[in-house]
Structure 1
Amino acid sequence: MKAKKVMAMAMASAMILSLTACGGSSSDSSSKGDSSSSDAKATVSVVKPNQDAANTEKTDETLTIGLSSEPSSLYGAAGGKTENEEQIIGNAMLDSLVKFNYATNELEPSLATDWEWVDDTHLKFTLRDDVTMSDGTPLVADDVVYTCNKIWIEQNTTNDTGKYIKGATADDEHTVTIEFNTTAPDFLKMMSWTNFGIVSEDEVNAAGGLDAVQTNPVIGSGPYKFKEWKNGQSVTLERNDNYWDKDYAGYYKEIVFTFTSDAAAREMAVESGDADIAYDMPVSQAATYAENDSVNTTIYDFGQTTHLWYNMGDNAGATKDQKVREAIDKALDFDAIAQVGTAGFGEAALSYWDPSCDYYTANYTKEERAVDVDGAKELLDEAGYGDGVEITALGLQDNTPVLTVMQANLAEAGITLKIDTPDTAQFVEGAFGGDYDLICVGDTPAIRTPASVMPFLQKLNVDGPGMVIGGAKWTSDEFDSTITDLISESDTDKATELATKLDEMVKDETVCSNLYPEMKASVYAKDLKGFNTSERGFVDATGFYE
């Protein structure tokens, strides 16, 4: 058994070029790790985000950030959608009522100076009285009411932005109350996300209305303003010199976002000086630049754990049998999978929950996670698959290396794994149609909202079914009620107890196999400081300086 594990680990090492590091969540500026296939060692230098002091200077310089793709909108909320790149750009233009400091893990005032829960579903905000919107008018409660009722709710009924909000009312010119349709204290943290940026009706109308403002977003009150969008080339923002927060100093006069799908080309642009930042690099590729003296590399986790989900729906095949699911779990080499999935910068998960959760506990021991091929074969025999079984794993292209390791693991137990990596649209269709046996999907449970806590096991809409992986909803009433209790619990100790209970239920039923923390990576200019993150690990473009 040991020899088989060594072979799998050697495969993992080869796939990540034998470059490893440990402690992907640590605050150290450098990490050291052992190569997983031998006693050879490699030292890598990785700059961690959210560590540099805030900038204090302004210049006439331009910052260029290379993104992997061009968004279809720069104000997606107006069209009822959100996209990663749009959120990154929008974060510089839009202020929300509160902001979350990812260096201190604390909520801080933004457009609201104070807030309080009136009851379980009503959240009252007191607004600043010195904020100027893009059209020169002051921020008032009616702007929040308009943004909430006309954009978040009416335009976003099927996504997180509007799904859980009933409406907003102005109590007076500088006080507004937002009502939610279910109980979740972490809705307050969710309100710090870019899709909850505040705009006014007048500035939206001046930009041409909700349709036009998606491509002409002269809106908001953020530290930067929209200047120009050259389709297929770039988006340019300019510093808002009338920004209300006088403690903020935007070092760069302009920020230019460019779009290049080729990650190597994005990195080369940084090395040549044509760009300052190559954002969203594949982790394994970014790791190869970690010892490059001409650039900085940052590799970090962001509260999202990747899970291997088993199809247990009505159309499920062998994975409907719990013994088959347990056999797969026993046959997997979680250390090797984590080595490949995180390029050696993260370890195998020991809980459903990510360690960044304030209710995290390690519910699995390393012994429980050890490879047990004989045990897997025994369970398969009991399930009637002693002669082997063929199953299909669905994943995106970037999951291929991880799925390949799984394929080798499962072959040792007599399980033939076919790998299906379609394009994104087909992947989504297959995922929610249950057209697979196994699927790799992550979630971000550090924020406890209905869309974030075990979303593939529960009803996401208050009045309708959610996005259950594998087809029809199968979870028990106890599972559902415990998820609801965890989301609504404000006491951290009690939330920890509920999270532990859910973790035990997942373990007992082998609902999924917990794999590894999902990682993000970027490469940026050596003299650049201020790499900070916003929600969901997105880069914050507003804090960079030299």
Structure 2
Amino acid sequence: MAAKKTVLTVLTGVGLLAATACSGPSAGNGALPEPGHLTTTTAPGSSEVDRVTWALPYGEPTTLDPAKIGDYSPQTVEANLCDTLTRMNADFSLSPGLAQKVTWSDEHTLVLDLRPGVKFWDGSPMTPEDVIHSLERQRDPKTQALYGNYLAAVTSIRATGPHQVTLRTKEYDQTLPKALSTSFGAVNQKAYTEKAGPAYGTAKGGLMCTGPFKLGSWKSGNGITLERNDAYWDTKLKPKAKQVEFQFITNSNTLTSALLSGEVDGTYELPPSSAAALGKADSGAVFLGPSTQNVLLVPGNAESPAADRKLLDALSLVIDRNALIKNVFGGDATPLKSLVPPLTWRGDKAAAQFDTAYAALPDIPEPDAEKAKKLVAQARPLSRPLVAAIPAGDQRGLQALTFVQAAAKKIGVDIEIKQLQPTEMSSLFYDPSARKDLDLILTFGYVTLPDPASYVAESVTPRGIFNWTGYNHPEVTRLLDRARTSSDPAASAKAYAEAQALFTPTTPTVFLASTHERMFMNKRISGAPSSFAYMGMPWAAYLGGTEK
């Protein structure tokens, strides 16, 4: 039973990536790496700074609307603007956010006790109506929200007090309170959002949130500037940086030069080629952190010959993961055995069960071109080269796909690389028409909350937004649903483990690697988290100057 269970009391002490889980590269069997050189955060910045300039290596966001963001650039920016009901920390633990307490009063009732005194950037108070509207608009098809599935079991959302919102559900849903730490749980001002309409979150429509920074300006094609919110409700996290300017720099060479010269102070997702040049820079340092990122090779649509599992197995069998990690990722990655990296469940009460189940999966195969050729012969005949997509200007993606291309050629499979503009690449993740002429897509994905089942469900259940080939395994769907609805961590982990054993060898995906987070920061500033948790937390509020 889940009666009177205060969720944040549980989750705060159960970090997804505890500091003790920081680790270095592992052996090629995909096992959890040994503790080593990764860190979750950097030394606190002690002084105020007028401006920090930060790069967005994946280009300009298409939107900053929390309901619609699902990519590196928009989440890097938006995490500093719109506070969430629960908050992600640098070690991936959860703590109270705009909701100071989240409680299951029974298995059908989730109560959010809101923090009093919170104000939007315009000075108006945050109310239960703002929270309700922020959640309910994600059910509306007109919003085109990415995370409406989190509300699938919710039957009503109502104000039950001046600072309280209550969600009634069909059943217990262990994912729901965790999801409140992501952009799904971000609170927007109802009046502003309704007035802006479809333009909300764009350069024209703007935003109205409660975060430590407010949207100062967005000059399309040029940059985005955030201004410090001097009236921020969390006085312990009042930003030391008065402004944060984001520049859209997708070319690795340009990014390296800008970081070396000090024109740009820092970046997340630093390309390996840039890391090599910046490793001994006098201007700053490269930091490596734990991550839940995954590198996958995924068919673009069900009609493509690349959706044939035999062909994908052949590609998997001819790709040397260890060489890929060494030559493309500079050794800063771990081979991946399934859809979700092991660190996703590191802080779960049933972590040992998850680890045992992951270890029981088949070992990552050693390269075997002859066996791969036999699988190609059994697969659907190929009459043309396979078209594989990556973002234009992404040197890391290009190198990885070129590596895959060379491996495929050994077994008679030709791959043609197509480079898409960042906005095109971003849209194909959610627009089927953008994928219709693509056979393969090299994806650098990530898990944003401490719940493997919810992430996997988006790829392997019929309604999943990342299920691009129509994969449908009823038993997998049933088990993932059990994992979601069980209030017992051990039972939830058992259901997920059984589902994992089924979808791992059958879902049309080639699992390649889990990369570490790589950040560069100029020595004049410090404090930024170095873990992948930055994607879901107000990371820029931790920045400060290093001068005394």
TM, length-normalised to structure 2: 0.76
Task: Give, as a single letter, the amino acid of the residue that structure 2 aligns with 1:404.
Answer: T
Distance, in Å, in 2 between the alignment partners of 1:390 and 1:384 is: 14
Q: Deviations over 1:254-302 (max 9, x none)?
A: 2222333333333333332333113443233323322323321134453
2:488 matches 1:491 = yes
Aligned residue in 1 for 2:401: 403
Tell me the distance in 1 between the aligned counterparts of 2:206 and 2:166: 26
Supply the AA of the counterpart residue of 1:495.
S
1:151-197 CA distances to partner (integer Å, 9 max, x unpaired)? 43337654334343355210010110135678641222221124532
**Residue 373 (structure 1) aligns with:** 369
2:234 counterpart residue number: 245
Q: 1:93 maps to which residue?
A: 81
| SS across alignment from 1:403 | helix
Kindly report the root-mean-square deviation, in angstroms, between the aligned alpha carbons of the 2 structures. Answer: 4.0
1:290 corresponds to 2:279: yes
Deviations 1:332-386 (A, max 9, x none): 22222233442321122234330212134434689652122333345456x389x
Identity value in percent? 20
Partner of residue 476, structure 1: 473
Q: 8 Å contact 2:386–2:416 — kept in the other structure? A: yes
Is this contact kept in 2: 1:127–1:174, CA < 8 A? yes
Aligned match of 2:539: 540
Distance 1:333 1:86, change over 3 A: closer
Distance 1:218 1:319 in 2: 40
Structure-2 residue corresponding to 1:164: 150
Counterpart among 514, 530, 535 of residue 517 in structure 1 = 514
* Other structure's SS at 2:333 match: coil
Q: 8 Å contact 1:141–1:173 — kept in the other structure?
A: yes
Tell me the residue number matched to 1:128. Answer: 115
- Alignment partner, residue 189 of structure 1: 178
Q: Give, in whole Å, the separation in 2 of the partners of 1:474 and 1:210.
A: 32
CA distance 1:479–1:528, change in 2 (3 Å): same
1:168 partner SS: strand
Residue 8 of structure 1 is matched in structure 2 by none
Report the Cα offset of residue 501 of structure 1: 2.4
For residues 468 and 133 of structure 2, what CA distance do their matches in structure 1 show?
A: 35
The size of the alignment, in residue pairs, is 495
Amino acid at match of 1:401: Q
Q: Residues 127 and 380 from structure 1, CA distance in 2 versus in 1: closer, same or farther, beyond 3 angstroms?
A: closer
- Structure 1: which 5+ runs fail to align? 1-23, 35-45
Mean Cα deviation higher: 109-118 or 330-339: 330-339
Residues 1:460 and 2:459 aligned together:
no
Q: Partner of 1:421: helix, strand, or coil?
A: strand
Larger Rg: 1
Unpaired runs of 5+ residues, structure 2, are: 1-16, 28-35, 346-353
Distance 1:47 1:63 in 2: 27
1:98 Cα deviation from its structure 2 partner: 0.9
Could you say what secondary structure the match of 1:117 adopts? strand
For the structure 1 residues 169 and 191, does the alpha-carbon distance in structure 2 shift closer, same or farther, using more than 3 Å as the test?
Answer: same
Question: 1:125 Cα deviation (Å)?
Answer: 0.5
Equivalent residues of 1:347, 1:516 under 8 A apart: yes
Equivalents in 1 of 2:382, 2:193: separation in Å?
A: 61
Distance apart, 1:508 and its partner CA: 4.3
Alignment partner of 1:531: what SS?
Answer: coil
1:541–1:390 Cα change, 3 Å = same
C-alpha deviation, 1:514, in angstroms = 1.8
Match for residue 394 of structure 1 among 388, 396, 402: 388
Alpha-carbon distance change, 415 to 90 in structure 1, aligned in 2, over 3 angstroms: same
Distance in 1 separating the partners of 2:400 and 2:482: 34
1:71 aligns with: 61
Are the counterparts in 1 of residues 214 and 228 from structure 2 also a CA contact under 8 Å?
yes
Q: Structure 1 pair 325/60, CA: closer, same or farther in 2 (3 Å)?
A: closer
Deviation digits for residues 108-167 of structure 1, max 9, x if unmatched?
111111111245554210011222232323333222123333x43337654334343355
What is the rounded CA distance, in whole Å, between the counterparts of 1:187 and 1:295 in structure 2? Answer: 40
In the superposition, relative to structure 1, how do residues 47 and 290 fare at CA in structure 2: closer, same or farther (>3 Å)? farther
Counterpart of 2:367, as a letter, is V
For residues 155 and 316 of structure 1, the distance between their equivalents in structure 2, rounded to whole angstroms, comes to: 29
Q: Could you tell me how far 1:211 is from its partner in structure 2?
A: 3.6
Q: Quick one: structure 1 residues 240 and 155, their matched pair in 2 at CA, closer, same or farther if it must change by over 3 Å?
A: farther
CA change 1:123–1:431 in 2 (3 A) is same
Distance 2:363 2:220 in 1: 53
| Structure 1 contact 112–126 (Cα < 8 Å) conserved | yes
- Corresponding residue SS for 2:274: helix
Distance 1:26 1:432, change over 3 A: farther
